[in-house]
Amino acid sequence: MLAKRIIPCLDIKDGRTVKGVNFVDLRDAGDPVELGAIYSEKGADELVFLDITATHEKRKTLSALARKIAKNLNIPFTIGGGIGSVADAEILLESGADKVSINSAAVRNSALIEDLAKRFGSQFVVVAIDARQVAEEWMVHVSGGRKMTDKKLFAWAKECADRGAGEILFTSMDNDGTKAGFANTALAHLSDLLNIPIIASGGAGTMEHFHEVFTEGKADAGLAASIFHFKEIEILDLKNYLNEKGVVVRV
């Protein structure tokens, strides 16, 4: 059985790590390069860095940030935000990123997923999907959660996998920042539907929530931000807890 992964996520705005609730009310959480180095030392399996305003503000994620991060880490990291072409992704991968994450650009041009997978391999391509429930339907949102699309979560995730995505990073916008638990029913359905790893995001508040997301939600990785940034849960403590509960993790 593959080990479940614990992944701190660093949302970046104007070069700083920020965290909000339901994608709004952002507050500063520190320097992303420094935080990344700390997480690398404290047992994180991977890291995700997302420039949350890059698409909205029509900026590109700076390759300089990727280079700084790469110099300070000994674990894999994914970087995303404003990636709209194979050339954008290539710059970040050459700068030291292990994977790239695309979101809004994939919705606008789904062929980009195939282009990236063919150029770099599926293992380098993470498709991030932000969705919230609207009239009992999980609807996909883009531009940092600002715009609702006509795409439905499960059909879109299946298309992404079919086009060559190596992983799906699903964030429940309803759960994001609430610390009330992950959207486990939706996650379990995604896991049953797809044959690629699912990274769960949105709602982590306790160690029990991670146990639930790996058992009830069938997720391959659990991603969280504020509980790690503000030291509410230490990663090694979490891994020891999960290990005692019978969840396979790298300790």
Query: What is the rounded (10 degree) CA torsion for 143, 144, 147, 148?
Result: 110
CA distance 39 to 61: 21
Q: Which two tokens stand for residue 159?
A: 């298309």
Cβ pair 200, 187 in contact under 8 A: yes
The closest alpha carbon to 183, from 209, 159, 156, belongs to: 209
2 assigned to some structural domain: no
221 assigned to some structural domain: yes
Q: What is the pLDDT of residues 194-208, one digit of tens each?
A: 999 999 999 999 999
| pLDDT band of 27, cuts 50, 70, 90 | low
Report the catalytic residues.
Answer: 11, 130
122 assigned to some structural domain: yes
* pLDDT value of position 79: 93
Q: For the chain, how many structural domains are there in total?
A: 1
13 assigned to some structural domain: yes
> Average model confidence (pLDDT) for the chain?
90
* pLDDT value of position 40: 93
Cβ pair 175, 203 in contact under 8 A: yes
Segment 56-77 shows an average pLDDT of: 78
250 assigned to some structural domain: no
**Cβ-Cβ contacts under 8 Å for 87 (sequence gap 6 or more):** none
| pLDDT band of 23, cuts 50, 70, 90 | very low
Cβ pair 183, 167 in contact under 8 A: no
1 assigned to some structural domain: no
**Cβ-Cβ contacts under 8 Å for 96 (sequence gap 6 or more):** 66, 67, 69, 70, 71
CA distance 114 to 82: 18
* pLDDT value of position 227: 92
pLDDT value at 45 more than 50: yes
173 assigned to some structural domain: yes
Cβ pair 205, 179 in contact under 8 A: yes
Cβ pair 9, 170 in contact under 8 A: no
For the chain, the residue count is: 251
* pLDDT value of position 14: 74
Query: Any idea what the CATH number is for the domain that residue 59 is in?
Result: 3.20.20.70
Cβ pair 152, 137 in contact under 8 A: yes
DSSP 152: E
| pLDDT band of 110, cuts 50, 70, 90 | very high
- The domain containing residue 38 runs over which residues? 7-244
Q: What is the pLDDT of residues 159-182, one digit of tens each?
A: 999 999 999 999 999 998 889 999
Q: Which two tokens stand for residue 111?
A: 């062929």
Cβ pair 55, 103 in contact under 8 A: yes
| Inter-axis angle of helices 207-215 and 184-193, nearest 10 | 30
Of the two residues 63 and 245, the one the predictor is more confident about is: 245
112 assigned to some structural domain: yes
